[in-house]
Structure 1
Amino acid sequence: MPALRQALAAALLAYAPAAMAQDQPPRELPARSLPVPGTVSPQMQKIIGMPLRTGWNTPPTTPEEWRKLAEAGAAATRQGLPGLRDRLKVDVEPGEMGGVKVFRVTPKEIKPENRNRLLIHIHGGCYVLNPGEAGLPEAILMAGLGGYPVVSIDYRMPPDAYFPAALDDVVAVWKAALRERDAKTMAVFGSSAGGALTLEMVLKAKAEGLPLPAAIAPGTPMSDATGAGDSFRTNALVDNVLVAVDGFCHAATVFYANGHDLADPLISPVYGDVRGFPPTILTSGTRDLLLSNTVRMHRALRNAGVEASLQVFEAQAHAYYNRDDTAPETREVFGEIAGFFDKHLAR
């Protein structure tokens, strides 16, 4: 525990100039223990009780180390995909759109109202993880639980390509989709870096005068990469996925940005002009390190006059809803998003 406290103190100090009011003293809190709450499902309790992410405060330091880490994580994720596809009754087929690699994820039974609709998925992973099929779990969950056909984008990532390559790929797929169908029949969704890229894509499309999606669903988006936001402190060492403000995911984002200003709205979309955005549903949890990122993005949208819904789930840390397809909370999250899309997409 002393080592963790020391790491946390260092993380907080690293971001103090950018994210803390310097004329107000910090509030000192006593050491405390957080029990796994009984207010969530047994499946969610199991995830909450897991230890902190291995290596959260010792990220790779070379491009090759980042590549090896991504490959190792992808190999582990791929092992669970056949079972997930079978349980949720979806088919996956590789393809290409706009010169970008994609996967078409199709339910064996598409809901009748969704036959002329399409969802575009942007996977998470702090801009560096989940290459190839490893980026598919969330797309499979949405296709299987929501009954929508989904295209999941296998965007370029470091060390092969840096900012703005991922965004360029997402915009290229959106342009290709627009050549095939009406924007009013499409929505875009994704979590973490995928949530940020969803917002960034809309900013970019708006700037280029492109038709916008009928709706979007950024889940726990990395909407502010500068380290601002209260939950970076209040949920430090509580979120067992991202863990702390100066941890693995920040290092990955810096690696992706490759020297670019982290406050650029195309990396931190909370600072962008979101007027005219499509209806948006955002998702987070009470233990999520990015709860403030999600809440602040919601307020930015609402202040710009955008229809925006915010769902915050009990005790969930970062993107827990993508972890276990048998958890009732997972089905509730995707049920809410699917219903939101159904309300806003043309048939």
Structure 2
Amino acid sequence: MSVLSFAAINKQLSLSRRLFLGGSLAAAALPATASAEEAPPASALKARQLPARSLPVPGTVSEGLQAVIAAPYPPGWNALPEDSATWKDLAAKSAAGAAPAIAAIREHFGLTVDQTTMGGVPVFVITPQDIAPENRNRLLVHIHGGGYVLFPGEAGAGEGMLMAGYARCKVVSIDYRMAPDYPYPAALNDVMAVWGVLLAAYDPSKMGIFGTSAGGALTLCAIHRAKAEGIALPGAIAPGSPLADLTWSGDSIMANAYVDNALVSRRSWANAASTLYAGQNDPRDPLLSPIFGDFSGFPPAILTSGTRDLLLSDTVRTHQKLRKAGVTAALQVLEGQSHGQYLSPFLPETDEAFGEIAKFFSDHLAS
């Protein structure tokens, strides 16, 4: 595919790229409602009052990413569905909106995508045309994002396709059950079921697990649960911008409110979706909010976020806890990016982000 055709694809997919990110929804049918930002419980110290300001698009990123950063907030970002039918309609819109980007990624990398089941769970097996020699016996396991409610079916496999293309490694992307029909622990149960099947076929030291947002959180939760149950751990993990704290208490939740143009603020659909997923369970349970768990014995990890990411604090805090537990952990924070925007296909920054993750897996997985 030529450079010119890449440019044409990027122009045509200006909307679908945002839909693909997991924080940007085709929610135009839902009326956006303005409301004041409410801070989570804080200390008695006085909050800092900030003057109104205009936030420029940084000139320190590629032109393509500048267009992503300059985009307005997603339509209906804070219009919260009131019933299951509306949540399901939102999920259907997310899948339809992601479809053009999914097709373009598959074509660009020349991927074969096969749908099957493992342990009764739907999965997509993604195989690049040319698997790197060192990856012939390796496998990467992908857990998609979308707040535990969005991107059903192949729409959730886009990040897995990107990784298969960049890493030149086979990927299994898990199409786990989601809220509202299947709240916690359905998604985690599905991840563990697939992991159990794969352990029968692969050496765990030759497998890695990765995902972004809810997928990043599920990556961490799967390790907590595998540790507790004495199940073999993967050789490395790559949780991207993990939704690691369902109390939504990190500093960047407020500091990057309305700076992040994907999730926007804690008053968004994503907060409501995480509450829907958790149900009546304690949000501080490490299998819901992995930040509250014990990170000792975790496999090597690389974490990815952006300077404008609403969940930057979740990512940084997770990295700190891993390091304090003696775990090998890398952190890449990408210039100007809001939540999950390193998933935007065909940008130089995407090449760089996935290149770092692919190298980390290559360095830490057994061959």
TM-score (norm 2): 0.90
Q: What is the match of residue 360 of structure 2?
A: 340
In the alignment, the residues of structure 2 paired with residue 275 and residue 120 of structure 1 have an alpha-carbon distance, to the nearest angstrom, of 22
1:257, distance to aligned residue in structure 2 (A): 1.1
Structure 2: which 5+ residue stretches go unaligned? 1-31
Structure 1, unaligned stretches of length 5 or more? none
Equivalences for residues 1-347 of structure 1 within 5 A: 7-9=35-37, 11-12=38-39, 15=40, 17=41, 20-21=42-43, 23-324=44-345, 326-347=346-367
Post-superposition Cα deviations, 1:232-283, rounded to whole Å, max 9, x if no partner, equal 0110001011111122101001111122111111111000011100000000
Alpha-carbon distance in structure 2 between the residues aligned to 1:8 and 1:215: 41
Q: Is the 8 A contact 1:118 1:185 kept in 2?
A: yes
| Secondary structure of the corresponding residue to residue 61 of structure 1 | coil
Q: Which amino acid aligns with 1:130?
A: F
> Residue 59 of structure 1: CA displacement?
1.4
Take 1:160 and 1:333, find their aligned partners in 2: how far apart are those partners?
34
Of 25-34 and 243-252, more deviation after overlay is shown by 243-252
Secondary structure at the aligned position of 2:122 is classed as strand
CA contact (8 A) 2:211 2:240 kept: yes
Give the Cα separation in 2 of the matches to 1:234 and 1:6: 19
Q: Describe the SS at the equivalent of 2:35.
A: helix
Deviation of residue 294 (structure 1)? 0.2
Query: Which letter maps to 1:79?
Result: P
Q: Conserved in 2, the CA contact under 8 Å of 1:167 and 1:200?
A: yes
Q: CA RMSD in A?
A: 1.2
Residue 88 of structure 1 deviates from its aligned partner by 1.4
CA drift at 1:58 = 1.3
Displacement of 1:6: 6.5
What is the alpha-carbon distance in structure 2 between the residues aligned to residue 5 and residue 319 of structure 1?
24
Q: Report if the CA contact (8 A) 1:8-1:236 is conserved.
A: no
Distance 1:76 1:230 in 2: 31
Q: CA deviation at 1:8?
A: 3.8
SS in 2 for 1:136: helix
**CA drift at 1:7:** 2.4
Hey, which bits of structure 1, 4+ residues long, moved more than 3 A? none
User: Could you tell me whether the CA contact under 8 Å between 1:195 and 1:217 is conserved in 2?
Assistant: yes
**Alpha-carbon offset, residue 5 of structure 1:** 12
Letter in 1 for 2:35: A
AA aligned opposite 2:361: F
Whether the aligned pair in 1 keeps the contact of 2:128 and 2:169 (CA below 8 Å) is yes
TM-score normalised according to structure 1 size:
0.95
The one-letter code matched in structure 2 to 1:331 is D
CA displacement at 1:136 relative to structure 2: 1.2
Identical-pair percentage: 54
Per the alignment, in what secondary structure is the counterpart of residue 242 of structure 2? coil
Secondary structure of residue in 1 paired with 2:288: coil
Q: 54-63 or 187-196: which moved more?
A: 54-63
Per the alignment, in what secondary structure is the counterpart of residue 320 of structure 2? helix
1:8–1:244 contact (8 Å) kept in structure 2: no
Q: Secondary structure at the match of 1:24?
A: coil
- What displacement does 1:82 show? 2.0
AA aligned to 2:352 is E
